[in-house]
Amino acid sequence: MAVTTVRRRNPKDPEGRMPLMDHLRELRNRAVKAGIFLILGSILGWFLWRGWSQPFWGVPSFSGGIFGMIQDPIIQAAEERGSLVSINFGQVGSAFDFAIKGAIWVGVLVSSPFWLWQFWAFITPGLTKRERRYAIGFISAAVPLFLAGAVIAYSVLPNAMDFLIGFTPEDGSNVIDAQIYLSFCMRIILAFGLGFLLPVVLVGLNFAHLVSGRQIVKQWRISVFLSFLFSALVTPTSDITTMLLLALPLLVLFGIAMVVCVLNDRRRGKNSDEPDYGDLSDDEASAI
């Protein structure tokens, strides 16, 4: 007679504390859920990437799809300069690979509310019940900022294309590999989106008792330097205007994040029952 063993779950701690293995299981579960949402977003991204020429089920036509939108900046820049530019698919399967990568990239953008929620849900076990209520606020701020960064990056692409194409000789032409062009656009748009997301993550770390507002204010010079460094690295051109389009909004968002963290520390200080581990030294152990 076979004996089945029933695995008992550890009782849930009201303060969100759990053993290391439970943390790893929680991380695995959140990663799997985020992956499922990413797959579903990529399926939708496949249709959005290619577009459709005829309306169906009340949905208007979307001729050209996302690929057409990504291709427009370089085509417009070429037309303004009167130069020849074309996107080249060098191999038989390049177009298919290009569509797959584009669908996954669109899936990351479309499913951003869901995988951002999973990220926040992984942090919330270490928060108090009151702070867990801010999850909706986190998603409400993170998703628009992530998408706003992507939109600003797309608005920068025409200037970037015009700058880069300007180095082509008058009698020359640009035959650009599709994979390289897509990687270029993906890197810029995702970098802008993630850059706008960093201040929200900073606030999340403060609510998770991992960093205090006082520490953030003390390191404001480093935040300014890193904002300009990040902007210089991810922007495709060497002109200062494009870099400032990313650096200045980042500085404003970091300033807002500092104010929110300081106000949260003051609120937390009034409630002495809430733990605060942000001011611990490197050699001092917490109660976790």
pLDDT in tens, 26-60: 888 888 988 999 999 999 989 888 877 777 666 77
Q: Show the CA angle centred on residue 127, arms to residues 121 and 131, nearest 5°.
A: 90
Q: Where are the alpha helices (DSSP H) in 171-239?
A: 178-207, 213-218, 220-234
Domain count across the chain = 1
Residue 38 within a domain: yes
**Per-residue model confidence as pLDDT tens digits over 265-282:** 888 776 655 555 555 554
- Using a 10 angstrom Cβ sphere, with 0-12 exposed, 13-18 middle and 19 or more buried, the burial of residue 166 is exposed
Residue 3 within a domain: no
| CA–CA distance, 168 with 47 (Å, rounded to integer) | 34
Residue 100 within a domain: yes
| CA–CA distance, 229 with 32 (Å, rounded to integer) | 33
Banded pLDDT at 288 (limits 50, 70, 90): very low
Residue 146 within a domain: yes
Secondary structure (3-state) at 254: helix
**Per-residue model confidence as pLDDT tens digits over 136-145:** 676 778 788 8
Secondary structure (3-state) at 6: coil
Banded pLDDT at 285 (limits 50, 70, 90): very low
Q: What is the DSSP string of 10-43?
A: PPPPTT----HHHHHHHHHHHHHHHHHHHHHHHH
Residue 18 within a domain: no
**Between these two residues, 55 and 10, which has the higher pLDDT value?**
55
124-138, 169-183, 222-236: which range is least confident on average?
A: 124-138
Task: Compute the average pLDDT of residues 244-256.
Answer: 83
Residue 35 within a domain: yes
In this predicted structure, the answer to whether residue 110 has a pLDDT above a threshold of 90 is no
In this predicted structure, the answer to whether residue 131 has a pLDDT above a threshold of 70 is no
Boundaries of domain holding 119? 26-50+64-268
| CA–CA distance, 248 with 228 (Å, rounded to integer) | 8
Residue 273 within a domain: no
**Per-residue model confidence as pLDDT tens digits over 53-104:** 777 666 777 777 888 888 888 777 777 766 677 777 777 788 888 888 889 9
Residue 282 within a domain: no
The pTM score is: 0.66
